[in-house]
Amino acid sequence: MERNAMLEFDPFLTELAEKLHVHGYYAFYGEHYNEADMEQYRRHLFNSFRNIVWVELDARKKYMIVDHRGRNTVMKLIDGMLNTRRTLRANQAMAGTDTSNVQKEITHLTQLVHMLRFTTFRT
């Protein structure tokens, strides 16, 4: 479902703002969300939120974060993904298969956690 419609009347913006206020982050799943869409959302939401961080884990998982609560939750979600990837890497190593792709994913996720750890949100 594309969100490239006129954003002024898009009910998704209201839902997005509510979720961001309650949880501090919003998860976007699917390859159809791109950076241009996020920039439009950011422009419309900037009146409500002073800090908006866009994190793209891969082509299918993206997060919009607006405060420390959201940042901490997303970091925990990434940690869970890291644990899964580390287990996969160990299983592949024991099976004698190539682990380079999984290692690249682990490196990418570790860098995102590091970046998020040092991201501050002004209130």
* 58-110 residue pLDDT tens: 888 999 999 999 999 999 999 999 999 999 999 999 999 999 999 999 999 99
Residue 30, pLDDT score: 84
Which of the four pLDDT bands, split at 50, 70 and 90, describes residue 43? confident
List, in order, residues 6 or more apart from 24 with CB less than 8 Å away.
65, 66, 67, 68, 69, 70, 71, 73
Q: How is residue 10 annotated by DSSP?
A: -
Q: Is the pLDDT of residue 26 over 50?
A: yes
Q: Is the pLDDT of residue 15 over 70?
A: yes
Q: Is the pLDDT of residue 118 over 90?
A: yes
Selection from 56, 58, 74 nearest residue 66 by Cα = 74
